[in-house]
Amino acid sequence: MKTVSSTLSCDILVLGGGSAGAAAAWSASAPGISVVLAEKTGRLGGTATNGLVSTLCGCYSSLGERRKISGGARDALARELKALGGLDEGVNRDTHRSDICDPELLACALDRMVLRRGTELHLSTLVTGASFDGERLLSVETVNTESGTRVVILPKIAVDVTGKALLAPFAPSGAVLSPEGGKLQAGTMVFRMDSVDGKTARAVSKDQIASLMAEARAKGDITQERGNGVLTVLPGGTAAIVNANWVKADPSVPLDVTAGLTGGRDKVLENARFFRKYVPGFERAVLSCIAPALGVREASRTECAYTLTEEDIMEGRLFADAVCVGSWPMEYHDWERNRLVYRWSGKDYTIPYRSLLPRGMDNVLAAGRNISVTSGAYASSRVMGQCLATGHAAGTAARLALRSGSLLRDLDRDLLRKTLLDEGAILE
């Protein structure tokens, strides 16, 4: 393949176009500021679209009246989704309230959200390397996977929203935060079924699925380890997203991901047979899509000025430099013990700006599931309400730092919080 190399300068480079990356590009873009978003796949949304996880959890408090706790980017996305007829807003489930969207329309809505703001979108663009001068990021290497064209991007500020610590290993003193004990949560191969009787399926609870799975196992219809699952009926009421298997996959080990993809698809075939035979509303359902990407729940993240802990969440800590509110329980998919653990705190908590400020990197921010959190805290902060909100915060911080000429670490926190509030974010 003939490769052509060129360079491209920009003010802000967003690496990764998942929910957090799209939110970061949306908030960073403004007249006079050039924003480039580089995403390795052919569409935005990351886990939410290519992994078929299209229920936006964490947009509402888990407490009492279930108030909205994620605004700003979440609201901009909701507007685009509503215009496309792809959103069921504020749906009450047994334990929580969520926004439910169609993954295909979600990808289209994210396109509109970032393109309307003038972001320069580089899809099918894999980030392959980076160079630093001391703590300063100088350049990011990319290759377009369609044309083979190599572009070296020279940003003033970058936001690492790749769902893992992509830039940190290239920085001389950048730090990668690995999950404690090297233990990663289980992944899942999510799938979609169509011709579902949505009204009936919506009434099926998680407990009911678990007891039907136990019955199916006793009859030899289920062989997989996982004994629980969740279904989400999509807007329109005739299709459902199903999350019902566990797959072991460490995304840093190439053959693990391949085995997870092939093994995951095998599990989906068994899951779909089970749903058709046992789960009310699925009697005529057809398997219509297996997620093109493996649903990787956990990966390494970037170590930042402050690492959010399980204790912060349990105590509902309110930080003076908070850029986001969280409330989702610590939902841990424990592969090693084959169990799903929920820990509820009884309090909403906040995420500080310092958890987005990488150690050893001057002009880089982290957001989404790449913020600095312990494994326990990650189990809560990884949901999309918080990914959208931290992405929004990182994009706004990058824009303000650029305009004021301040270092990211010296950015006026009051100005950041005031600007986020003006942009519709919810900070307490």
Residue 103 within binding range of ligand FAD, rule CB under 6 A: no
How many CB atoms are closer than 10 A to CB 404?
A: 12
Least Å distance, CB 340 to ligand FAD, is 12
Rank residues 14 and 216 by Cβ distance to ligand FAD and give the closer one. Answer: 14
Token reading at 315: 């105590």
Residue 21 engages ligand FAD in binding (rule: CB under 6 A): yes
x/- contact string, 292-311, with ligand FAD (CB under 6 A)?
---xxx--------------
Alpha-carbon span 242 to 234, nearest angstrom: 11
Applying CB under 6 A, among 13, 26, 40, 71 the residue interacting with ligand FAD is 40
Residue 360, token pair as written in the block: 């050893």
Least distance (Å) between residue 404 CB and ligand FAD: 27
Q: Nearer Cβ to ligand FAD, position 183 or 277?
A: 183
For position 329 contacting ligand FAD by CB under 6 A, the verdict is no
Q: Give the span between the Cα atoms of 410 and 408, in whole angstroms.
A: 5
Nearest alpha carbon to residue 91 among 241, 223, 308, 262: 241
Q: Is there binding between residue 358 and ligand FAD (CB under 6 A)?
A: no
**Binding range to ligand FAD, per CB under 6 A, among 10-18, 301-309, 318-326, 403-411:** 10-18
Residue 79 CB partners (closer than 8 Å, separation 6+): none
The three-class DSSP label of residue 146 is coil
Q: Is residue 17 a contact residue for ligand FAD (CB under 6 A)? A: yes
Q: Cβ of residue 299: shortest distance to ligand FAD, in angstroms?
A: 8
Residue 248 phi, psi (nearest 5):
-85, 125
Residue 382 binds ligand FAD (CB under 6 A): yes
Contact with ligand FAD (CB under 6 A) among 58, 71, 352, 358? 58
Distance separating alpha carbons of residues 387 and 20, to the nearest angstrom: 5
User: Nearest to residue 422, comparing CAs of 393, 387, 383, 398?
Assistant: 393
Under the binding rule (CB under 6 A), the answer on residue 359 touching ligand FAD is no
Q: What is the DSSP letter of 99?
A: E
Show Cβ contacts of residue 354 under 8 Å, excluding neighbours closer than 6 positions: 304, 305, 306, 319, 321
Q: How far is the CB of 2 from ligand FAD (least distance, A)?
A: 22
For residue 53, state whether it binds ligand FAD (rule: CB under 6 A).
yes
Which contiguous run of DSSP H or E holds residue 150? Answer: strand 150-160
| Number of shown-chain residues binding ligand FAD (CB under 6 A) | 39
Query: Contact between 158 and ligand FAD (CB under 6 A)?
Result: no
Integer Cα distance of 143 and 149 in angstroms: 6
Which positions lie near ligand FAD, rule CB under 6 A? 15-21, 38-41, 46-48, 51, 53, 55-58, 126-127, 161-163, 166, 187-188, 190, 243, 295-297, 368-369, 382-384, 387
